[in-house]
Amino acid sequence: MLAAFFLASCLGPAAAQDLSPLDDGRDRLRELDPAPSLPEGVTGIIRPGEGERALQIDTLTGIFHALQACWKPPAGSGLSGQEITLRIAFKRNGEVLGQPRITYYRAGNQPDQREPFTRSVREAFTRCTPLPFSDKLGAAVAGRIFTFRFSDTRPM
């Protein structure tokens, strides 16, 4: 008994806590970790299609559907294989934040269609924005980077 008291007094209270088999230190680290958040960026493909403009968008998928409904690729460019990828962010109210950045362009088999194709993508954002975000979605996506790949896959 005297030996146990002597051992406990030498090691101190901090050392006694470290000897507990239930506390291996990982619980303390978990307390310090932040809660999981939205992904840093959201990526999706926009293809030509029919659709109606939404009155209110309350999901990430709804953003892609809204842009698909607004995009009208140039006539005669179907199945050209053209693609353009943009990085863009939105404000809480659905307006575009800053300037969209083109990060990739694939000319496809009709290089003379580049200007009409890129113009059609710009016009889609002009036609659609500000997007009608719900308050919750607007708060969640404000300032987050979206990557949209516009791909012309229509038959000619």
Cβ pair 140, 34 in contact under 8 A? no
Cβ pair 86, 148 in contact under 8 A? yes
pLDDT averaged over the chain?
A: 77
pLDDT at 24: 54
Question: pTM value?
Answer: 0.67
pLDDT at 20: 47
The Cα–Cα gap between 35 and 52 comes to 36
Q: What are phi and psi of 117, to 5 degrees?
A: -65, -50
Question: How is residue 24 written in tokens?
Answer: 């291996």
State pLDDT tens for residues 62-79: 999 999 998 888 876 566
DSSP 114: H
Low-confidence ranges of the chain (pLDDT < 70): 1-41, 76-80, 110-111, 154-156
pLDDT at 43: 79
pLDDT at 85: 92
pLDDT at 16: 47
Cβ pair 85, 148 in contact under 8 A? yes
The Cα–Cα gap between 50 and 36 comes to 35
Residue 80: strand, helix, or coil = coil
pLDDT at 35: 52
pLDDT at 89: 94
pLDDT at 149: 92
pLDDT at 31: 58
The Cα–Cα gap between 82 and 65 comes to 20
Helix (H) or strand (E) run with residue 149 in it: strand 145-151
